[in-house]
Structure 1
């Protein structure tokens, strides 16, 4: 990959979010006013494709302690966590402590199309070969 700044990659990723790249479980809550909603899994995987690093995952809870779902983001070395989608959460949702998650050998059926949509848009904007690893 040609040299890119994290700022440039972030700008491209954020501009590439759409309902097509949104987790199906969050599609009803996705809007241009909250474009990060449901983008965490796809975004974390695309950043991992581009930059490597660790994938982080954590439960998200409602005030009553029940689980709303999971949140995903990236860590690139000690002390550098990058979470482009943290602002997606409502005030009533709290992200718990993360753990490192092994990258699945294949992206799961439920979010595969969303990941591929985001990857295609980001790679096109960065003028990268979408078939490269």
Structure 2
């Protein structure tokens, strides 16, 4: 198995987002200049697939009213990684997170999750193959 860095994974995820991997409730707000919009659930699950840890969930509030839920990752060291935090505007506040059990299936986001996971793994494998080609062979 190839050991990818968090930078490799982040780059592959960010290049794999699209309107077709966006959560249905966020489609009206997804834009190419804010590609992280609606990607948190599927992104957190793909990061979990690749790096393990815990899934975290917090409530999103606008003017004190809960408008959504937000997902990210926390690792055994306590470090939290949120690759989609920039999707929120200044009026959207994400509350404290709590660890949640990973659902057995992504449910309503199954198609978006599978598409994002496929794109990310393909991108990571493409990058690993390119690195093998660029590396000079060792002379014994």
Same fold, TM exceeding 0.5? Answer: yes
The 5 A counterparts of 1:45-84 are 45-63=45-63, 65-84=64-83
Q: Which runs of 4+ in 1 moved over 4 A?
A: none
C-alpha separation between the residues in 2 aligned to 1:118 and 1:20?
A: 9
Is 1:85 the counterpart of 2:84? The answer is: yes
Aligned residue number for residue 131 of structure 1: none
Deviation at 1:78, TM superposition (A): 2.7
C-alpha separation between the residues in 1 aligned to 2:120 and 2:74?
A: 19
Q: Which ranges of structure 1 fall in alignment gaps of 5 or more residues?
A: 129-133
Q: Which moved more, 1:65-74 or 1:75-84?
A: 75-84
TM-score by structure 1 length? 0.91
Is 1:113 the counterpart of 2:107? The answer is: no
C-alpha separation between the residues in 1 aligned to 2:77 and 2:52?
A: 14
C-alpha separation between the residues in 1 aligned to 2:61 and 2:77?
A: 26
Classify the secondary structure of the residue corresponding to 1:3.
Answer: coil
TM-score by structure 2 length? 0.87
Alignment: residue pair count: 126
Aligned residue number for residue 16 of structure 1: 16
Root-mean-square deviation over aligned CA pairs = 1.1
Classify the secondary structure of the residue corresponding to 1:77.
Answer: coil
Pair member with larger Rg: 2
Aligned residue number for residue 130 of structure 2: none
Deviation at 1:79, TM superposition (A): 2.9
Higher helix share: 2
Aligned residue number for residue 31 of structure 2: 31
